[in-house]
Structure 1
Amino acid sequence: MHDATPLIATIVGGLVLAFVFGAIAHRLRLPVLAGYLLAGVVAGPFTPGYVADAGIAQELADLGVILLMFGVGLHFSLKDLLAVKSISIPGAAGQMGVATGMGMVLGWALGWPLAQGFVFGLALSVASTVVLLRAMEERRLLDSDRGRIAVGWLIVEDLAMVLALVLLPAIGGFLGTGQGGPVPSMSELLTTVGLTIGKVVLFVAVMLVVGKRVIPWTLQAVSASGSRELFRLAVLAIALGVAFGAAHLFDVSFELGAFFAGMMMGESKLSQRAAEETLPLRDAFAVLFFVSIGMLFNPGIVVQHPWIVLAACLIIVVGKSLAAYAIVRAFGRPPKTALTIATSLAQIGEFSFILAGLGVSVGLLSAQARDVLLAAAIVSILINPLLFITLDRWVAKHDADAPDEHPIVKGHTVLVGFGRVGRRVFAELSALGAPILVIETDEDAVRELREGGEADVVIGNAAAGPVLAEANLAAARALIVAVPDPFEGGQVVRAARALRPDLPIIARAHSSDCMGHLSRLGASEVVYGEEELARRMVEVASPAPVATSHH
């Protein structure tokens, strides 16, 4: 038997441990992220037993972030980005400034050099892309106004980090704290800033002028070949190729390059298919991202410096969130939007680690400060899902208390999901004059439904008991689950069946396995898309029955 290479051992060990501890966390009704992080701690160098290759784990995690940002770009247009620039740019800048200032105050209180406090505070100011987008995707908020503001905020933070990572070595030398070498002058420092900004602007211009035409055309040409394998390969090649080229030709981060690649591919009519093709890889590498974070964690720092870790956590979870909330409210946005943005940003992640590592290498950050930063990151990532659960309950209660928001109807059909399939179902039911109540999380879809005035609408996750209670299932005629994700659909079916055992429940599936899964959870009827398509094609192709005369 061949010995496993570090790459294979890291992938296998990371995924197996993540599955084991993720399943345990799920069983204990804890966020699965907690299981993934604990898997990383077990595989890390600070605990006995198996130790994965930290360098390889980090590179695999970087792939996950690239694919994740590419997927976000697919659902994001330049118009969406420009629509939120008025709040995302000053909001992100203001929030980062407040968080950096708080980090510097903490550093001053601890007797750290000013430069160390600045780098430490800057690392506390930037949120994790993976954590934020996962939370948004779970709640289907990416296409909402709240989701667009959050993503725009992330892009601004990303650009700020690109500048910081380029300037940090120069700043270290300018302050005389770098690892030897000539000290740059102020003019050299300003030149470095100008070159960095110029490269970012040039990259964006190239993507808007060339990428906007070449990428959709390439995707269309490959799709015309009829090869699904080649199409999937083209999507991955474009995502990773543009990200790599952006980093090496323009000194732009992998994440920003992948985001723009996705945004340009979003101009193609095949963008939805491209998103579906990258989903499995994105999820797998996102898991490895959390495992890689856990590997960096040294539990000893919590025992050695508990108060410093606590102070850093308070800056991330409380200070940064309050700043974001105040800024969003100052721009006239409703409390729900402000709370969502504040909750989304109450954590730190990948850019913080990169910045901390670079800070240590150029002599601007001590190893102790780096370990405190990593501990605070772990704690904030573990707390963040709990904050979102609290937010979900607040939103559900707030919407339920709104006057005339959700009038109780009877004899209605409850439709969960207003996507492509849900819209068709809605149109058919409306044509029949049937009363409909729609459960949806996307704010734009809810706004569209309310403006049309053709249906009652409940905002929220249909798998939650309070949301289903608002839909008045006790008096409903039927429940149609039109969401595409079989796991999400299964949760809705199970919750509805528990509330009303005799309710007719119709769900959609993409495979025979999904059909069985939904049926076991309580669906009365499961519609399998490919099966229905095949049946209809046979009906059209079959000759009409010939009448025969009997003598």
Structure 2
Amino acid sequence: MHIGEILLALGGAFLAAGILARLGAKIGLPTIPLFILAGVLLGPHTPGLALVSDPSYFELLSKLGLVFLLFYLGLEFHLDDLINGGRRLVAAGIGYLVLNIGGGLAFGFALGWGTREAFVLAGVVGISSSAIVSKLLIELGRLRNPESRLILGIIVVEDVFLAFYLAALQPVLGDAASLGAAFVEFGIAFVFLVVLFGLARWGSRLVSRLLDVRADELLVVMFVGLAVVVAGAAEELGVSDAIGAFMIGLVIGSTPHAERVTTLVHPLRDAFAAIFFFTFGLTIDPGDVVSVAGPIAIAVVLTIVLNAIAGLGAARLYGFDRRAGTNVAVTVLTRGEFSIVLGTLAIGAGLDARVAAFAAGYVLVLAIIGPLAVVRTEWLSRLVPVRVLPAAEGPAPDDRAGADPTAAAEDAASASR
């Protein structure tokens, strides 16, 4: 495609995603599945108008969407929340991973597609979408809910686990020549994570000096540069670019410039996030998904059950009521970017082609079910027995957000300003 064609396609993508999301908002639907659906409908795999013939044209912009989403999440998430979570947070995160990764691995072996395929499917089924979870919390104005700190903590534990999981998968995917080489990659990822954590804990003063500029224009240039550089370095060293962006957001969030940066990053976050989810939709081939509809349906049911157990168990550990516990269980339900990446890597490694088709369909279904469940947590919480979690007292803090996601997102943005 020529530059002019790419610009036309990009403008059309923004407009199509915006128009469809605006129509959905009128009936109370969150924007995420609608952005994805716009990509599916206008993608190269669906009959009719193909706005973009090759999703790779939007790959860089899509990556920026993920970076800005997680960067913003880091700004809102305080390091003390992670540290003070201590054993309870680690227990909740590990419990979530054991249930979901373990369940995914058992499911993979049960399918009988192969041993290597089973280990890839464990990651596809077991890991939540950082991008969708963060977008949901922002869009529905729930970042300041008490249980959201637990949700974000689980996501952080997952993203840290991802670095190690990807390193361990290298022999399976064929990139690492030996188990020793995989351990080297694992060690590099671990050291980089330690450095990022140290910077978040003790390096805020240095970063604060770097951002000490009066003009908003220069501040935008500086924090965008920091976010992209750290995310890129993380990706190169075998750590998720998402965790890199999140950690530098943590650092800046502890500086005196946090409020200004939070305000200035809003339009970048919203615009690029829309392209991230739209591009995700472009990669989905509805025809391939139909061929593995049975395994997808089983995996979706399994995921809902495992997330309910893990989410309610974590909420019980924290002493939350059943409404907050339901929020935890359904918010971490969605799967996304990491599952698709694993499906793509499976193709490159010559694994069973059904793995990629399964990943695409599975993620699409949960990307629709998850957000719809999140906006209905007040009703879903009534299904939780009182003996499991106590009944909620008083009106739901996010009732209005569930009724009007667009208004809630605007209120959240205004509050942070």
TM-score, reference length from structure 2: 0.86
Counterpart of 2:275 in structure 1 is 288
Change (3 A) 1:461 1:397: farther
Mind listing any 5+ residue stretches in structure 2 that lack a counterpart? 385-389
CA deviation string 1:510-530 (max 9, x = no partner): 9xxxxxxxxxxxxxxxxxx9x
Q: How do residues 506-521 of structure 1 correspond to structure 2 at under 5 angstroms?
A: none
The letter for the 2-side match of 1:460 is P
How many residues get paired? 407
Q: Does 1:356 align with 2:348?
A: no
User: Do structure 1's residue 239 and structure 2's residue 230 form an aligned pair?
Assistant: no
Match of 1:212 among 204, 208, 213: 204
2:112 maps to a residue whose letter is G
Query: Which amino acid in 2 is paired with 1:50?
Result: A
In the alignment, structure 1 residue 24 sits paired with structure 2 residue 15 = no
Query: Are the equivalent residues in 2 in contact too, given 1:24–1:35 (CA < 8 A)?
Result: no
Task: Give, in angstroms, the shift of residue 132 of structure 1.
Answer: 1.0
CA contact (8 A) 2:292 2:354 kept: no
Q: Equivalents in 2 of 1:166, 1:465: separation in Å?
A: 39
How far off its partner does 1:486 sit? 9.8
309-318 vs 239-248, greater mean Cα deviation: 239-248
Q: Distance in 2 between matches of 1:289 and 1:167?
A: 27
Query: Which residue in the other structure is 1:50 paired with?
Result: 50
Query: For residues 130 and 402 of structure 2, what CA distance do their matches in structure 1 show?
Result: 30
Query: Aligned to 2:50, what secondary structure does the other structure show?
Result: coil
Cα distance in 2 between the residues matched to 1:404 and 1:196: 42
TM normalised by structure 1 equals 0.66
The aligned counterpart of 2:118 is 117
Partner deviation per Cα, 1:387-437 (whole Å, 9 max, x = no partner):
112213456999xxx99966xxxxxxxxxxxxxxxxxxxxxxxxxxxxxxx
**Matches of 2:336 and 2:74, distance apart in 1:** 20
1:340 — aligned with what? 327
Contact 1:64 1:289 in 2 (8 A): yes
- 1:192–1:70 Cα change, 3 Å: closer
Distance in structure 2 (CA, Å) of the matches to 1:488 and 1:112: 44
Contact 1:329 1:338 in 2 (8 A): yes
Cα distance between partner residues in 1 of 2:342 and 2:410: 41
Q: Which residue of 1 aligns with 2:371?
A: 385
Residue identity matched to 2:208: P
User: Cα distance, 1:93 vs. partner?
Assistant: 2.4
8 Å Cα contact 1:353/1:374 also seen in 2: yes
Partner of 1:95: 96
The 3-state SS of whatever aligns with 1:379 is helix
Amino acid across the alignment from 1:194: G
**1:100 Cα deviation after fit:** 2.4
Q: Which residue of 2 aligns with 1:12?
A: 11
1:170 equivalenced with 2:156 (yes/no): no
CA distance in structure 2 between the aligned counterparts of 1:349 and 1:335, rounded to whole angstroms: 26
1:342 is displaced (CA, Å) by 0.9
Letter in 2 for 1:239: A
Q: Distance in 2 between matches of 1:93 and 1:217?
A: 37
Q: Partners of 2:355 and 2:406 in 1: how far apart?
A: 44
Unaligned residue ranges in structure 1 (runs of 5+):
173-177, 407-457, 467-484, 492-508, 511-528, 530-551
Contact 2:101 2:123 in 1 (8 A): yes
Question: Deviation per CA, 1:134-193, whole angstroms, max 9, x where unpaired?
Answer: 222234332333111111111111111122223322344xxxxx38xx952x44444443
| Cα distance in structure 1, aligned partners of 2:262 and 2:364 | 29
Q: Distance in 2 between matches of 1:283 and 1:127?
A: 20
Cα distance change, pair 47–259 in 1 and its aligned pair in 2 (3 A):
same
Aligned to 2:397: 460
Give the CA deviation at 1:102. 2.3
**Any conservation in 2 of the 1:21–1:35 contact (CA below 8 Å)?**
yes
Q: How far apart in 1 are the matches of 2:100 and 2:396?
A: 33
User: Compared with structure 1, are the counterparts of its residues 207 and 332 closer, same or farther at alpha carbon in structure 2 (3 Å cutoff)?
Assistant: closer
Give the alignment of 1:448-487 within 5 angstroms.
459-461=396-398, 463=400, 487=407
* 1:17 Cα deviation from its structure 2 partner: 1.5
- C-alpha change, 1:396 and 1:403, in structure 2 (3 Å) is closer
What is the rounded CA distance, in whole Å, between the counterparts of 1:258 and 1:489 in structure 2?
22
Please tell me whether residue 372 in structure 1 is matched to residue 358 in structure 2: yes
Distance in structure 2 (CA, Å) of the matches to 1:350 and 1:489? 22
| Structure 2 equivalent of residue 497 of structure 1 | none
Moved more, 193-202 or 263-272: 193-202
Letter in 2 for 1:228: D
Name the aligned partner's letter for residue 189 of structure 2: T
Larger strand percent = 1
Q: CA 1:263–1:6 in structure 2 vs 1: closer, same or farther (change >3 Å)?
A: farther
Please, which of 189, 192, 195 is the counterpart of residue 199 of structure 1? 192
Alignment match, 1:254: 241
Q: What is the deviation of 1:256?
A: 1.4
Deviation readout 1:333-374 (Å, 9 max, x if unpaired):
4433322211111110111112222233224x4221111111
Conserved 8 A contact 1:18-1:287:
yes
Counterpart residue identity of residue 381, structure 1: A
Q: CA deviation at 1:206?
A: 4.2
Between 1:71-80 and 1:43-52, the stretch displaced more is 43-52
> Which residue identity is paired with 2:207?
I
Pick one of 258, 268, 279 that aligns with 2:266.
279
CA distance in 2, matches of 1:303, 1:355: 19
1:247 to partner: Cα distance? 3.3
Aligned amino acid, residue 214 of structure 1: L
**Which has the higher Rg, Structure 1 or Structure 2?**
1
Moved more, 150-159 or 8-17: 8-17
Q: Aligned partners of 2:383 and 2:238: how far apart in 1?
A: 46
More helix by share: 2
Alpha-carbon distance in structure 2 between the residues aligned to 1:117 and 1:403 = 39
The one-letter amino acid paired with 1:340 is N
CA distance in 1, matches of 2:95, 2:323: 20
**Cα 1:117/1:280, change in 2 over 3 Å:** same
What does residue range 44-193 of structure 1 map to in structure 2 within 5 Å?
Answer: 44-48=43-47, 49-52=49-52, 53-172=54-173, 178=174, 183-184=177-178, 186-193=179-186
Aligned partner of 2:35 in structure 1 is 36
Q: Please, which moves more after superposition, 345-354 or 191-200?
A: 191-200
Contact 1:317–1:380 under 8 Å retained in 2: no
CA deviations on 1:472-501 (whole Å, 9 max, x unpaired) are xxxxxxxxxxxxx9944999xxxxxxxxxx
